[in-house]
């Protein structure tokens, strides 16, 4: 049962335009969400997170939006750069006494020069 | 550089063997997590340790075990290896073992079973 879903395996965007990566979740108990970027042969790198008490968090070119009623979050990258080309993973923390993360299957972003 | 160190980077072994993967967390982080990434799956949580104690378990096989030592480094032991155990194994660390905080990942150990 996939509790965190990234339905788009890949996305191609022109340099300078906006990249929008989407993520859906099924468990309403999730209270903290994160986005990671992963290059080949490297581990996931933490990008940005959002708590369930917020609906938006911004860090430079990266903004994460959370719609709790729709159980949906998205990552916006503006402007997109070729160096942003990587696999992006959405993850959720199920709260409680642990901090374990449940990951989506990832979206491969290709930013074309 | 996340500050999380995993060794070895690559490991090739045969079915039935036993291997140990090692992880050193970021300085100051007390919690360590292990994840498995197979070819056809995303990152799957295996187990979490906090300050030497097991905190949470995911879908970790009985053939797998882990521990966290007093210096906070962690080892993941995989025994009676099967072809299906071939995967990338990632270690992550965080400051504490609970609450809303990001985990920082190492570059993984690629395990290949022949």
Per-residue pLDDT tens over the stretch A59-109: 999 999 999 999 999 999 999 999 999 999 999 987 766 678 999 999 999
Of A36, A15, A42, nearest to A113 by C-alpha is: A15
**Which pLDDT value is given to residue B98?**
75
Mean pLDDT score across all residues of chain A? 94
Residues 42-71 of B with CB under 8 A from A: 42-45, 48, 55-56, 58
Residue A67 is classified by DSSP as E
**Which pLDDT value is given to residue A96?**
65
Any A CB within 8 A of B107 CB? yes
Residues with Cβ within 8 Å of B63's Cβ and at least 6 positions away in sequence, in order, are B78, B79, B80, B81
Residue B50 is classified by DSSP as E
- Residue B86 CA to residue B110 CA, distance in Å, equals 8
φ, ψ for residue A84 (rounded to 5)? -80, -10
User: In this complex, do B98 and A99 lie within 8 Å of one another by their Cβ atoms?
Assistant: yes
Query: Which is higher by pLDDT, B76 or A31?
Result: B76
Query: Which is higher by pLDDT, B65 or B40?
Result: B65
Q: CA B102 from chain center: how many Å? A: 16
**Which pLDDT value is given to residue A97?**
61
> By percentage, how much of chain B surpasses pLDDT 70?
99
CB B46 within 8 A of CB B35: yes
Cα–Cα distances (Å) from B62 to A2, A82, B12, B46, in that order, read 23, 43, 21, 11
What residues pair up with A89 in beta bridges, in sequence order? A36
Å between B60 CA and nearest CA of chain A? 13
Q: What is the dihedral of CA A59, A65, A68, A70, to 10 degrees?
A: -160
> By percentage, how much of chain A surpasses pLDDT 90?
85
- Kindly tell me if the per-residue pLDDT of B17 is higher than 90: yes
Chain A residues touching B10 at Cβ < 8 A: none
If you measure CA to CA, which chain B residue comes closest to A34? B102
User: In this complex, do B45 and A102 lie within 8 Å of one another by their Cβ atoms?
Assistant: yes
If you measure CA to CA, which chain B residue comes closest to A4? B42
- Kindly tell me if the per-residue pLDDT of A32 is higher than 70: yes
How wide is the angle at C-alpha B40 spanned by C-alphas B42 and B31, nearest 5°? 30
Cβ contacts below 8 Å, chain A against chain B, sum to 69
């Amino acid at each position: 049962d996939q509790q965190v879903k990234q339905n788009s395996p890949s996305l191609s965007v022109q340099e300078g335009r906006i990249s929008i990566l989407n993520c859906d979740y099924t468990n309403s108990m999730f209270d903290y969400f994160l986005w990671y970027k992963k290059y080949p042969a490297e581990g996931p790198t933490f990008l940005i997170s959002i708590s369930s008490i917020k609906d938006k968090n911004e860090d430079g070119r990266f903004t994460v939006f959370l719609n709790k009623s729709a159980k949906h979050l998205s990552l916006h990258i503006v402007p997109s750069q070729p160096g942003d080309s990587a696999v992006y993973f959405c993850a959720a923390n199920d709260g409680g006494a642990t901090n374990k993360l449940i990951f989506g299957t990832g979206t491969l972003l290709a930013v074309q020069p | 550089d996340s500050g999380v160190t995993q060794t070895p980077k690559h490991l090739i072994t045969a079915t039935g063997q036993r291997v140990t993967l090692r992880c050193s967390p970021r300085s100051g982080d007390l919690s360590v997590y292990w994840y498995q990434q197979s070819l056809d799956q995303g990152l799957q949580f295996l187990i979490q340790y906090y300050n030497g104690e097991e905190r949470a378990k995911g879908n970790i096989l009985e053939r797998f075990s882990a521990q966290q030592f007093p210096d906070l480094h962690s080892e993941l032991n995989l025994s009676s290896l099967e072809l299906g155990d071939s995967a990338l194994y990632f270690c992550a660390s965080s400051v504490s073992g609970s609450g809303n905080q990001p985990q920082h990942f190492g570059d993984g150990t690629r395990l290949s079973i022949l």
